[in-house]
Amino acid sequence: MAEPRATLGGTVHPALDGIDLVVFDKDGTLVDFHAMWSGWMVHLAADLETLTGRAVTAALYGALGFDPGSGRALPGRPLAATPMADLRVLAHEALVRAGVPVEGADAALHAAWTGPDPVALARPLADLPALFGTLRATGRRIAVVTTDDREPTERTLAALGVAHLVDAVVAADDGLAVKPAPDAVLRVSGLLDVASHRIAVVGDALADVAMARSAGARAIAVTSGVSAAADLAATADAVVPSIGVLAT
């Protein structure tokens, strides 16, 4: 593994002391989770009700873990941290449980299923070019590990002006076991030649914290996404309000 990099300048949060690689989750960490996914959930349910002619919204919300009262994904439920392919399977099962024939569920999902717009709905939770620039100026490298797919992830990073500052991306459709498995962190560890104990994982979900722990990395939780501070604090090494405090 590579030797720790020297600090070149800038100010970082103490939680990043001794860290050479910062691995960020995407939704809820870099960008507003609810802006990206809540509207998508509501529109998907409405489209599927129209296409199937059945009242399927409650079943979909229950299966994917969405609270219509608050308009938010529920912590620890599928919508909060599950790949799109798996969400589609869960949606299909919910339609069938709601009385839609299997063939009708297949047809409705084929017609309605599409991901949220990764550019129009990507609302950054900090000045990402400034944050990433400072991290790189202090000798740290950057990776993104997400349960979203690669194509929308790369489009989001490009639209936010930080794609060139990211050293590695691991996405849900890359063929690795997803969070909370350690595989994605171990992949970037190998790709970038950084030992796990010199890596910090920054994320908003318990799955991010568990992934970091199982990979031997530091876990920094943010409360800008789907999980409450009290839940995150039980296992994270540090809890901060948002990524914006990590570097100035």
pLDDT digits over 63-104, tens only?
A: 999 999 999 999 889 999 899 999 999 999 999 999 999 999
Confidence band for 6, pLDDT divided at 50, 70 and 90 = very low
Measured distance CA(148)–CA(85) in Å, rounded: 9
Alpha-carbon separation of residue 198 from 141, 147, 201 (angstroms): 11, 23, 10
pLDDT at position 76: 87
Type of residue found at 221: A
Q: Whole-number mean pLDDT of the chain? A: 94
Measured distance CA(172)–CA(51) in Å, rounded: 28
Q: Is 215 within 8 Å of 209 (Cβ atoms)?
A: no
Q: How many residues does the chain have?
A: 248
For the chain, give the percent of residues with pLDDT over 70: 96
4 has pLDDT over 50: no
Q: Which residues, other chains included, contact 161 with Cβ-Cβ below 8 Å and sequence gap of 6+?
A: 128, 129
Longest CA–CA span in the chain (Å) reads 62
For the chain, give the percent of residues with pLDDT over 90: 93
Q: Is 20 within 8 Å of 192 (Cβ atoms)?
A: no
Domain parsing of the chain, residue ranges:
14-31+122-245, 34-112
Which CATH architecture describes the domain 14-31+122-245?
A: 3-Layer(aba) Sandwich (3.40)
